[in-house]
Amino acid sequence: MNTDLKNNDVQHYMQTLGQQARAASRAMAKADTATKNKALLAIARAIRGEAASLRAANELDLVAAKNAGMEAAMLDRLSLSEKAIETMALGLEQIAALPDPIGEISNMKYRPSGIQVGQMRVPLGVIGIIYEARPNVTVDAAGLCIKSGNATILRGGSEAIHCNRALAALVKQGLQEAGLPEQAVQVVDTTDRAAVGALITMPQYVDVIVPRGGKGLIERLMREATVPMIKHLDGICHVYIDDRADLEKAIAIGFNAKCHRYGTCNTMETLLVAERVADQILPLLAVEYLKEQVQLRCDSTAYAILQDYPYLARADENDWSTEYLAPILAVKVVGDMDEAIAHINQYSSKHTEAIITEDYSRAMAFLREVDSASVMVNASTRFADGFEYGLGAEIGISNDKLHARGPVGLEGLTSLKYVVFGHGEVRA
Amino acid sequence: MNTDLKNNDVQHYMQTLGQQARAASRAMAKADTATKNKALLAIARAIRGEAASLRAANELDLVAAKNAGMEAAMLDRLSLSEKAIETMALGLEQIAALPDPIGEISNMKYRPSGIQVGQMRVPLGVIGIIYEARPNVTVDAAGLCIKSGNATILRGGSEAIHCNRALAALVKQGLQEAGLPEQAVQVVDTTDRAAVGALITMPQYVDVIVPRGGKGLIERLMREATVPMIKHLDGICHVYIDDRADLEKAIAIGFNAKCHRYGTCNTMETLLVAERVADQILPLLAVEYLKEQVQLRCDSTAYAILQDYPYLARADENDWSTEYLAPILAVKVVGDMDEAIAHINQYSSKHTEAIITEDYSRAMAFLREVDSASVMVNASTRFADGFEYGLGAEIGISNDKLHARGPVGLEGLTSLKYVVFGHGEVRA
C-alpha cells in the first residue's frame, strides 16, 4: 500500500515538473540572444563564486559513494575538483559565445502562387536528460538547453544528488538574474527510480529525451519510452586498411584510432586489413601496438601473420560485436573493400568507420555505402566529436538516423518550422 | 490455441518481410539516380498497361466493401477510376522528374586539425507506411520511397487488399526491369490486424513508421510503437485577424481558409478576431459564410455582433479543440495578438496558423511565438501543403517536432551522415 502511495507521489511530482517546464519553455522560446547569454554568464559567475560550497556538497556525495563501494573510475567522474568547477564555468562562457541558432530563416523562396516559403529554426520545447552521476553534465546540459531556447528537466545519477541540488540552485539564480523563468532548468530532486519511468512517458510535457548513460539504461528506455529519444548506444568503430593505402597513414591512423584513448566511443574496436597488404602492414602495426601492450584478437589469417606477437589471442564471433573500451583490438583480414563494408554493415554500431586508401573510387564508394553516423577517409575515428567537427559544444552523439545523427550540438536541440510571407494570397 | 498459432504465423511473416526489406534497403541505398528513375517509369507504364485488370481487382474490393456497409466517402477513396489510375501513373513520372536527394554533400569545411567535415544525405533505410483503404497511397508511397533510396513495407486498409495485391505485382515488375530488388517494396498480404502490431515493434528492421490514417489509429500507434514515427495528427488551424489587418485581405483569407475545402487538415477551424475590429469585420465575413451556409459557433462577444446570422450557435469549451472538417467555424473575439497567440498555443494541434495584419512588428512576433509547423502572415492556411511549398511530392504532414515538421517530401525520408575527408590526420 505504502509503495503505491509513494509511487503516486513521484508520478505527481514529475507531472508538476513537466507542467512547469512546458510553461517555462514558452518564455524561453521568446527569449532573445542577449538575455540567454546573460543567464549563462551569471551562472558561470555563481559557480565560480560558490566553488567552496559546491565542493562541500560534492564531499557528501563522495563519502556516501565510497561507503557504498563505488568504483574508482566512477568516483573520478563524480568528483568536483577545483579544475572541474573552472571547466564548467568556462564551458558556459563558451556556449554564450556560440551563435544563437534560434530564429534563423533559411531557404525563403517565392512560389508560383505568390507566397514566399522558408523555414525558421525554433527550439524543440522541453528536453529531458537522463545521465549518470556526473555533475558537470548538469551544467553543460543546462547551458546548451538555455542557449537553444529550450526548457529542460535533468535527471542525474542519484549518487550526485547533493551536488546537483547545489548546482540547480545556482542555475536558478542565474536564470532569475537574466529575467528568465527559473523553471526553465529543473533538476529532479528525488533519487526514486520511478522518476525516470515518469519522465520518459509524458509526451505531453517532454518533447525529447537525451539519455547519456550505459547500454543497460538505454535498452530500458527503448522498451519503455513513449517520448522520442536522441540516443547514444555503443561505439563499435572500424578502420579498414585497403590494399591501396598509404603505408605511413595506415600505421599512424591504425595506432591513433586504437591507442589515443581507450574509453571513448569513437575508439576503433575492430581493424580490417586487405589480404594483399596484411603480410606487410600487420607486423608494422604490431610494433606500435606492442608499445601499449594492446591485445590483438585475430581471425586465423591475421593470427598466422602475427604468431610471434606476445599479446595474441584468437577472435571468436563475439569479438566482432564487442566494445572493449580497453587496450584490446579485434583484427580481421578481408578479401577486399566489399567484404570490409559487408562486415561493417553487419557488426558496426553505426557510430564511426574509416577507410585508409589512396584509391579515389573506393574512397567514394566507402563514403556512400557504409551506413554509419560518421564515415571517414584517411583520418582517425577519434575525430568523431562535436568539438572536432566545429559544433562548438555537444549534448551527445546520436546512433539514431532520425532527426540527428552523429555528434549533436545546439542545432540538434532545435527544429525547423515553415514560415510563409503572404500578400493576401488565397488558394485558387 | 489456434489463435496463438495464427498470431505466431503473422509475427513470423512480418519478421520475414522485415529481414527482406532490410536486405533490399542496402541495394536501394547504392542505386544510382538513373536506375531509380527507370523503375519509376516502368511502374507507371505497367499501371497504364494493366488498367483493366487493376479495375477488375478494385471491383472485388468495392463489392465487398459495399456489402460490408462502407460509407460513400470511403468508397470514393477506395475506388480506382480510369482517372485515378492515370493520376497514379502521372504521379510516378513527376517523382522521376524530381532531383535525387541522395548523396548530396553539404557544408564541407576545413577544421583546424586539417580534416574536412561535411554532411551527406542518405536514405533512412526501411520505411513502414500504415494507411487506410486508399490504393493510390500504395503507389505514391512506393514511388517516394524508391526515389529516396529506401525500402518500404506498405500496410494499406484491408478493404483494398485485392487492388493492393495487383499494384504490388506491378511495382515488383518495374523494380525487376530496372535491376532493383523486388523486395524493396513489399505490400503486407494479410488483413490480420496483428500485422500492424508487428510492424511497429521491430526497430531492428524498420527505421520509421509513417501512419496515414485517423486519430484512433495514430493514438494506438503512439501507445504501442517502439519504432519512431513521423505522425500526422489533426489539423485545428487558426486565422487571427489583427486590428491592423487589411480589410480586403482579411475577408478573402478568412473565407478561403474555411470554405476552399472542408475536409482537409489545413482548413481553418477557429477564427480569432481582434476586439477593436470585430464589429466591422465579422458582419462582412458573415456575408461570405452565408453563401456557403457555414455554421458559426461563437463566443459571447461574436454572438452578440452576429445575432442576425441564420446559422448561429454558441461555442462551448469543446469547440476550441474540434476539427470539424465541415462547414462549421468556431469564432472568438480576443483582446489583442497576445491573447490570440495564447489561445492558439493552448488549443491548436500545431499544424498551421495565420495572422492577418499590416503591422510589421506583430507579424514578426507572431511568426516567432506561434509554435506550429506552419506559421503564415497574410496568406490562407490552405497553402500548407507539400506541392504549394515546392517539395514536389508529399508523404504526409508531420505534427511532430523531431526530424520533420510540416509537409514531408523526399527529404523527410532521408537523413544526414557526417563525412570526413582526411589526409592522414590523427588526434593529437
Each of the 428 residues of chain A gets a pLDDT tens digit; together they read 334 456 679 999 999 999 999 999 999 999 999 999 999 999 999 999 999 999 999 999 999 999 999 988 889 889 999 999 999 999 999 999 999 999 999 999 999 999 999 999 999 999 999 998 999 999 999 999 999 999 999 999 999 999 999 999 999 999 999 999 999 999 999 988 899 999 999 999 999 999 987 778 888 888 888 888 888 778 999 999 999 999 999 999 999 999 999 988 999 999 999 999 999 999 999 999 999 999 999 999 999 999 999 999 999 999 999 999 999 999 999 999 999 999 999 999 999 999 999 999 999 999 999 999 999 999 999 999 998 998 877 888 888 888 889 999 999 999 999 999 999 999 99
**Residue pair A203/A17 in contact by the 8 Å Cβ criterion:** no
pLDDT of residue B73: 82
- Tell me the count of A-B CB pairs closer than 8 A: 224
Q: Which of B95, B12, B1, B160 is CA-nearest to residue B393?
A: B95
Whether the pLDDT of residue B6 is over 80: the answer is no
Enumerate the CATH 3.40.309.10 domain ranges in chain B, comma separated. 237-388
Backbone φ, ψ for residue A98 (5° rounding): -75, 150
Just give the CATH number of A237-388.
3.40.309.10
Interface residue of B401, B403, B408 to substitute, partner A, most A CBs within 10 Å: B401
Going by the DSSP 8-state scheme, the letter that residue A266 receives in this structure is T
DSSP E strands in A278-373: the ranges are 295-298, 312-314, 328-334, 352-356
| Residue range A2-230+407-420 in CATH 3.40.50.261 | no
Interface residue of B246, B420, B421, B423 to substitute, partner A, most A CBs within 10 Å: B420
- The Cα-based distances of A95 to A92, A318, A395 in angstroms read 5, 41, 12
Q: How far is A136 from chain B (nearest CA, A)?
A: 24
Going by the DSSP 8-state scheme, the letter that residue A382 receives in this structure is G
pLDDT of residue B5: 52
pLDDT of residue B394: 84
Could you identify the residue written with the cell 542525474?
A156
For residues B146-163, give the mean pLDDT: 96
DSSP labels, A399-415 = --SSS--EEE-GGGGEE
* Inter-chain touch A418–B389, beta carbons under 8 Å: yes
Enumerate the CATH 3.40.605.10 domain ranges in chain A, comma separated. 2-230+407-420
Whether the pLDDT of residue B14 is over 80: the answer is yes
pLDDT of residue B272: 98
> Which residue from B111, B345, B427 is facing A382, i.e. has the nearest CB?
B427
Q: Which residue of A has its CA nearest to B374?
A: A418
Q: How far apart are CA B408 and CA B390, in angstroms?
A: 11
pLDDT of residue B2: 37
Q: For residue B271, what are the β-bridge partners?
A: B239, B331
> Cell for A144?
546548451
Q: Does residue B243 sit in helix, strand or coil?
A: coil
**A293-327 core/surface letters (b: 16 or more CB in 10 A; e: else):** ebbbbbbebbbebbeebebbeebeeebbebbbeee
Q: How far apart are CA A371 and CA B416, in angstroms?
A: 11
> Which residue from A117, A257, A402 is facing B402, i.e. has the nearest CB?
A402
**Residue pair A206/A127 in contact by the 8 Å Cβ criterion:** yes
Q: What angle do CA A103, B239, B219 make, to 5 degrees?
A: 80
pLDDT of residue A383: 97
> Which residue from B124, B208, B375 is facing A419, i.e. has the nearest CB?
B375
Q: Which of A165, A153, A203, A171 is CA-nearest to residue A25?
A: A153
Per-residue pLDDT tens over the stretch B383-404:
999 989 988 778 888 888 888 8
* Inter-chain touch B417–A372, beta carbons under 8 Å: yes
Q: How far apart are CA B389 and CA B387, in angstroms?
A: 5
Q: What angle do CA A269, A274, B422 make, to 5 degrees?
A: 65
Q: What distance, in Å, lies between the first and last C-alpha atoms of chain A?
A: 64
DSSP E strands in B256-302: the ranges are 268-274, 295-298
Q: What is the 3-state secondary structure (H, E, C) of B312-377?
A: EEECCHHHHHCCCCCCEEEEEEECCHHHHHHHHHHHCCCCEEEEECCCHHHHHHHHHHCCCCEEEE
> Cell for B252?
478573402
Give percent of chain B above pLDDT 90.
84
Q: Is B167 on the interface with A (CB under 8 A)?
A: no
**Residue pair A285/A343 in contact by the 8 Å Cβ criterion:** no
* Gyration radius from chain B CA atoms: 24
> Cell for B318?
469543446
Q: Rounded to 10 degrees, what is the CA torsion of B375, B380, B384, B386?
A: -130
**Residue pair A391/A400 in contact by the 8 Å Cβ criterion:** no
For residues B110-128, give the mean pLDDT: 96
DSSP labels, B94-150 = HHHHSPP-TT-EEEEEE-TTS-EEEEEEEE-SEEEEEE-S-HHHHHHHHHHHHHTT-
Q: Mention every residue, 6+ apart, whose C-beta is less than 8 A from residue B334.
A: B240, B272, B273, B274, B275, B340, B343
User: Exposed (0-12), middle (13-18) or buried (19+): which is A289, by Cβ within 10 Å?
Assistant: buried
Could you identify the residue written with the cell 526497430?
B203
Q: Is the dihedral of CA A170, A175, A176, A178 positive or negative?
A: positive
- The Cα-based distances of A59 to A62, A86, A89, A157 in angstroms read 5, 17, 19, 15
User: Exposed (0-12), middle (13-18) or buried (19+): which is A59, by Cβ within 10 Å?
Assistant: middle
- ipTM, interface predicted TM-score of the complex: 0.90
**Residue pair A119/A417 in contact by the 8 Å Cβ criterion:** yes
Q: Which of B265, B284, B291 is CA-nearest to residue B394?
A: B265
Q: For residue B407, what are the β-bridge partners?
A: B397
**Residue pair A377/A357 in contact by the 8 Å Cβ criterion:** yes
If contacts are CB pairs under 8 Å, which of residues 337-396 in chain A contact chain B?
A: 345, 354, 367-369, 371-380, 382-384, 388-390
Q: How far apart are CA B104 and CA B414, in angstroms?
A: 11
Contacts with A256 from chain B: Cβ below 8 Å: 426-427
Q: Does residue B406 sit in helix, strand or coil?
A: strand
> Which residue from B223, B379, B417 is facing A115, i.e. has the nearest CB?
B379
Per-residue pLDDT tens over the stretch B191-207:
888 999 999 999 999 99
From the DSSP assignment, how many helices (H) and strands (E) are in chain A?
Answer: 14, 16
* Inter-chain touch A115–B390, beta carbons under 8 Å: no
Contacts with B373 from chain A: Cβ below 8 Å: 417-418
Could you identify the residue written with the cell 590526420?
B425
pLDDT of residue A18: 98
Q: How far apart are CA B374 and CA A416, in angstroms?
A: 10
* Inter-chain touch A405–B427, beta carbons under 8 Å: no
* Inter-chain touch B420–A228, beta carbons under 8 Å: no
Q: How far apart are CA A100 and CA A228, in angstroms?
A: 24
Q: Which of B102, B79, B95 is CA-nearest to residue B25?
A: B102
